Amino acid sequence: MSLEVLSAVPTLFAADGSVDLAANRALYVHLAGLVDGLFVAGTTGEFPALSDDERLSLVSIALDVAGPDRVVAHVGAASARQAARLAVAAVGLGVRRIAAITPFYLPARPDELTRHYVLIRDAVGSAAEFYAYIFHERTGVHVPPPLFATVAAAAGLSGAKVSGGSAGALAEYVASAPGLRFFSGDDSNPGRSLALGCSGVVSGRSAAYPEVFATLLRALRDGDGDAASGVSGQSGVPGQPGLLGQEGQSGGAGPLGQSGLSGASGLPGPPGQSGVPGQSGTSALSGALGQSGASELSGQEALDRIVALGASIGRLKHAIMLRGFGTDAARMTVDPPDFTTAAAIAEQVANLPQTTPAPR
């Protein structure tokens, strides 16, 4: 069984807050050369702050860059009416895979949850694979595995993306709905997700550090367990668990007193540059991460170093900016890095391995 890694891409904005279509295209082109596909306008993409037209513009760019088989368009909204409208429009653009987060803001009874997904499925018919997106911490809607199985059967779901605390029950989700495909929003250990029966990972960090994921995927697909696992399950900081990275989620305080990251993507800056005036990149945080470059580590060891930096959209955008893709502007509250963490992010970017895409 092979694992698919989809980058949960951020939405890049210009300094005036408008969507920077050229910067987003450049990022998509870079990612499409290293990972399996793109998850567009999800949590990391700040979808609640985007208009329908903006979301569809990003989907159109992704389709043009990566093709319909490598794009998942997130069409979720608080109302089924809006989600269905977006789903129909996305399918009209050529999308073959859609995902929709559960209703949010107001609570949803099980029958209401089922109806939400049935309405979206009825709108698109059989034109696209359709995945639920479960993220209790962001929506307030809890979907335990038995309820998901009921909803999936009623709405003809193809599977689900499972994020936040629910990702800890992935084995139960897989068992609840045999034959469906599950994607983990926890990207801290792809090998573990594969072992649990997942079909893939939707990864914010891979949008920032695609080279690390490409190296790790190659090892997994080649059956090189040693190269893939390294210190599998560790966070890169002694005594800290590896389950830190949910796509688009800060998850509270990280292992070093920080609350989030998802790294970078593009061309690394000059080695030794921190990207922060007056910093060499050798901060207390980077010291805690160790001095070895990512190229000297196994795939999972390199990922553990990134996990130790935390997981927030702001840190992801900061790293992407350092690599030359647009600005770090955001429309939502995204937890940008402090001075010390920014220097550590820059050091990790500067030491990214040179790699080629893992065979699909």
Going by pLDDT thresholds of 50, 70 and 90, the confidence category of residue 297 is: confident
Contact 349, 286 (CB under 8 A): no
Please tell me the predicted confidence (pLDDT) of residue 250. Answer: 37
What is the model's pLDDT at position 288? Answer: 44
- The whole-number average pLDDT for the span 79-85 is 98
C-alpha span between 355 and 342 (Å, rounded): 24
Alpha-carbon distances, residue 231 vs 126, 185, 235, 303 (angstroms):
43, 20, 9, 10
Where residue 227 falls among pLDDT bands split at 50, 70, 90? low
| Cα Dmax for the chain | 58
Whether residue 132 is predicted with pLDDT greater than 60 in this model: the reply is: yes
Q: What is the pLDDT of residue 159?
A: 98
- 10 Å Cβ neighbour count for 264? 33
Residue of 278 and 314 predicted with greater confidence: 314
β strands within the chain, DSSP E: 4-8, 37-40, 71-74, 97-101, 129-134, 159-162, 181-184, 200-203
Among residues 105, 103, 96, 63, which one has the least CA distance to residue 81? 103
Count of Cβ atoms closer than 10 Å to residue 13 Cβ:
21
More confident residue, 38 or 309: 38
pLDDT digits (tens, 9 = 90+) for 325-348: 999 999 999 999 999 999 999 999
| pLDDT over 70, % of the chain | 79
* Mean pLDDT score of the chain: 84
**How many other C-beta atoms are found inside a 10 Å radius of the C-beta of residue 106?**
11
Strand partners, 159: 131, 181
Beta bridge partners of 246: 186
d(CA 5, CA 18): 28
The residue-averaged pLDDT of 130-135 equals 98
User: Which residues, 6 or more positions from 154, have their beta carbon under 8 angstroms from its beta carbon?
Assistant: 114, 117, 118
Give the tens place of pLDDT for each residue, 239-286.
Answer: 333 332 344 443 333 333 333 333 333 333 333 333 333 334 334 454
Average pLDDT over residues 66-85: 98
Mapped onto helix, strand or coil, the DSSP state of residue 99 is strand
What is the pTM for the complete model shown? 0.84
pLDDT in the model for residue 221: 87
Over residues 26-30, the mean pLDDT reads: 98
Report all structural domains of the chain as residue ranges with CATH numbers, in order of start: 4-220 (3.20.20.70), 244-350 (no CATH)
